[in-house]
Amino acid sequence: MNKPAELPLQAAPEVGRSRPHESAALHVAGRAHYTDDIVEPAGTLHAALGLSPVPHGVIESLDLARVRAMPGVVGVFSAADIPGTNDCGPLVHDDPILAGTAAEAGPVGPVGATLRYRGQPVFVVVARTRDEARRAAALAPQVIRARRLPALLTAEQAHAAGQYVVPPMHLVRGDAAAAIAAAPRRLRTRFTVGGQEQFYLEGQISLAVPADDHGMTVFCSTQHPSEMQLVVSHALGVAAHAVRVECRRMGGGFGGKESQSAAFACIAAVAAARLRAPVKLRLDRDDDFLVTGRRHGFVYEAELGHDDEGRILGAEITMLSNAGHSADLSGPVMTRALCHFDNAYWLPHVAVHGYSCRTNTQSNTAFRGFGGPQGAIAIEMLLDSVARRCGLDPLAVRRANFYGPSEGGERHVTPYGQVVEDNIVEPLVAQLVAQSRWSARRQAIAAFNAGSPVLKRGLALVPLKFGISFNVTHLNQAGALVHVYTDGSVLVNHGGTEMGQGLNTKVAQVVAHELGLPLERVRCSATDTGKIANTSATAASTGSDLNGKAAQAAARTIRERLERFKADHPQHAALPWDALVQQAYLARVQLWSDGFYATPGLHWDKARLQGRPFHYFAYGAAVSEVVVDTLTGEHRLLAADIVHDAGTSLNPAIDIGQVEGAFVQGMGWLTMEELVWHPDDGSARAGLLMTHAPSTYKIPTANDAPAVFRTTLFDAPNRVDSIHRSKAVGEPPLLLPISVLLAIRDAVSAVGGHAVCPPLDAPATPEAVLRAVQAVREGRGACA
C-alpha cells in the first residue's frame, strides 16, 4: 500500500475510536427517516397482495372483477399485466413476481398457472388507501379457485422425492469411508436445526414513482439496490438506466432484504407504470411472514471415526436444507455451509454432501451467517458427542482437533483447499479459558448438579473460524464517491446500505481519518444507483471491508491533489482546512473523486468446490452457562463470556454491539424461534405457516440476555491488507451462541450422569428439552 501523504489538517485519528452510530440521536428521537417516512408524492396510491390459499395447485379460475368492484380500488394486476419479465430470481430464473409464467399464462391471465406455496402473491390490488387495498386483497381465498396438488413441506419429503432447486454438492478430501471404517471408535447420529425468521423491525416496503421518458424511481428497503434496479428494469421491459433505486436506511435486514425485496420493488414499479402514478407497497407483519423466506432449516445425517483422545480421523455428513419453492440464494448458502463444516478443526478425511431440497414453502434466503452457522453447528454437535462418549473434557477434544500452524505439516489446509494462514484460534481460546475460569466453573457445576435433582446446570465453550468474502468472486468489489464542498464539509456516497449495523459510521470515520478531519465534518448520503453503479449486496460481512476501501481510495485521491496544490503554492501550505479548500477551488483543483476496490487473491472452482474463496478468516470463542428446569424444560442463560477477533477495530463500541447482538439473535435461533407449518391434510389450513406473527413466533428480548455478559475484542491486527487491518464483525459472531445450545445439552446430559448423548434438536424449546430429558432418563441417546 502506498504511504499516504501528509495530512492537510492534523486532527485526532478517527479510526479505532468508539464513536456513536451516526444516526443514534435520530433513532432515539424517532426522527430517522425510513422508506415509509418519505413524504408521499401527490396522488400516491397503495398496493396490497392477493395470496395463494393453497400450498400447491393449479389455478382454475380467478375472479378479479369482484376485486375491482371493491371500494377505492383503481387497479388489479396479475402476471399477465407485467410488461417485461415475470421473474425476480437472483441467480436462477425460477421465481415469478406474481404466480404464472409466460408459458402458463392464458387468455384470462394466470389461469392454468401453478401455485407453489401458501402465501404466494397471485395478484396485486391498487387502491386510494392502504386499508382499501388490503380489504380488497383479502378476497383472495374467495376469488382464487385452484385444483390442489400434493405438497412437499419438509426437506426429508423433498429429498425422498429427489426434488432439488440446484444440483447436489459434494465436498470431498481423502477417503472418509475408509478412515471411518479403520478408526478405533465410530459414531453415527442424526439431528435437525430449524430455520429462523429475520424479523426486521421495518417490514418489506417499496415506493415507486414514475419519472419522465418511461423512467422509474424506486425508494426501497433493500440490501441490494443494484439488483433491485435490474429486476425492476426487467419487469418493466426497460434499460437499467431508466430505473433509479435509493435506500437511505433500513430498519434491519439480516439478509431478508438482499434478494427478497425484489418482488415488492417490481410489483410497486409495475403498478406505478401501469397507472402512471406513485404506488407504495408496505406489507404488514403477517403477510411478510407468509410471503418471504428466511434462514434455511437443516437436517443432518453424520458418521465419523475418531481415536480414544477424540481426534477425528474421518467424517462424512449429509446436509439437507429446506430451500423452499425456488432457488433464490440456496446454492451459495449450501456452498458456505459445506465450507464451514470444518469450523476451526483439521479434518484429514472428509466427505460433505449438500442437498437443497425444493418444498412447497416460502423460498428461503440469506440470513446473517449465510449457511456458515448451519455448517459449523454440525461439527460442534459431533465433537460434543465424541467428548461425552470418551468421557473427556469437551475443550480438550476441541483443542486436539484445532487447525495447526501454517509453518509446517498439513494440518492447516481446509477441505476446499485454502491454506489457513492467519490461525489465532488457540491463543484466543486460551485467553477466554483464563478469563472465564473454565476449569473452576466446570467443577462447580458438577458439584451443583450432584446435589440438585431438578435444576441442572450446563457449561459449553465453542470456537469459530469464519471465512470473509462473497463466495462468488466477482461480487467482491465496491465503489464510492467523496465530495469536498467549498466550505470544507465532506459528503460520501458508497455502494453499501445502512441497516443499523453502523456501516455509514465506519465509512465516515475512514474518510475523516484519511483527510485528517473531525468526524463531524463528514456525512454519508443515501445509497443510490444513480451515483454508484453495479454495487454488490451489503452482505457476507463485507460492507466495511469493500466500501471502506473504496471510500478510502477516493479520499486519498483528493488528499494527494491537495498536497500537490500545497507543494505548488507554498504560500497556502500552512492554511487551515477550510481556507485550503477555498484556495484549491479557486485554483480549479478537482475536489471530488471516485474510488474503487476489488478484493485481491480470490478464486473459486464452483464445480470442484476448491479454491481460495475467502480473503481472510475471523475467529472468536464463547463460554455459556445455563440452568435447566428438568420439570418444565425451561432454561435461562446465566452468563456468557466472549472473546472475538475484530482485527484492529474501526470502532470498538459498534463492533462489541454487533458481537452481542449476533449472540442474542443466534441464541434465539437455537433456543426459541420455532417455525411450524400446518400439514398438508386437505383442510383449510393445509400448508399454512402457523407461526406468522409475534403472537406465535417468539424472538429473544432484553430479558433473555444473560445477567453476566462479558465481551472482549481480541487484540491482534488482521494479517491481510484489510481496511486499517480491521476484520468483519457482522456475521461471524452468529456462531458463538452454539455454545448456548451445547450448554443446554450439557445440562440435560447431567440428568443421566453424562452416560448418553442427549437427542436434543434445535430450537431447544421447553418441549424439545423435556423430550430430551425423558430420553436420557430412559437411556436413549442420540448417537450409535
Alpha-helical segments (H) within 166-224:
176-182
Give pairs for 421-427: CB < 8 Å, separation 24+. Answer: 421/719, 422/616, 422/617, 422/718, 422/719, 422/720, 423/465, 423/617, 423/619, 424/619, 424/645, 424/714, 424/716, 425/344, 425/463, 425/465, 425/619, 425/621, 426/399, 426/402
Can 731 be counted among the known catalytic residues? yes
* C-alpha distances in Å from residue 82, one per residue of 59, 102, 130, 767: 18, 10, 22, 47
Report the SS3 class of residue 198.
Answer: coil
Comparing C-alpha atoms, which of 349, 327, 280 is closest to residue 167?
327
Cis peptide before 763 (omega within 30 of 0): yes
Gap between the Cα atoms of 379 and 464, Å rounded: 11
CA 409 to chain centre: 35
Residue 474 burial (CB < 10 Å; 0-12/13-18/19+)? exposed
In SS3 terms, 59-82 reads as EEEECHHHHHCCCCEEEEECHHHC
Contact 63, 148 (CB under 8 A): no
In the numeric block, which cell numbers belong to residue 480?
Answer: 464510492
Report the SS3 class of residue 167.
Answer: coil
Pairing of strands 350-358, 169-173: antiparallel
Contact 267, 155 (CB under 8 A): no
* 215 Rama sector, left if φ>0, alpha if ψ -120 to 50, beta otherwise: beta
Catalytic entry in 22, 303, 514, 731: 731
Phi, psi of 457 (to 5 degrees): -105, 155
Contacts of 319 (CB under 8 A, 6+ apart): 298, 299, 300, 334, 337, 338, 341, 352, 353, 354, 355, 374, 375, 378
CA 226 to chain centre: 18
Which stretch of DSSP H or E encloses residue 440? helix 438-450
Gap between the Cα atoms of 195 and 731, Å rounded: 16
Place of cell 446435589: 451
Residues belonging to the active site: 731
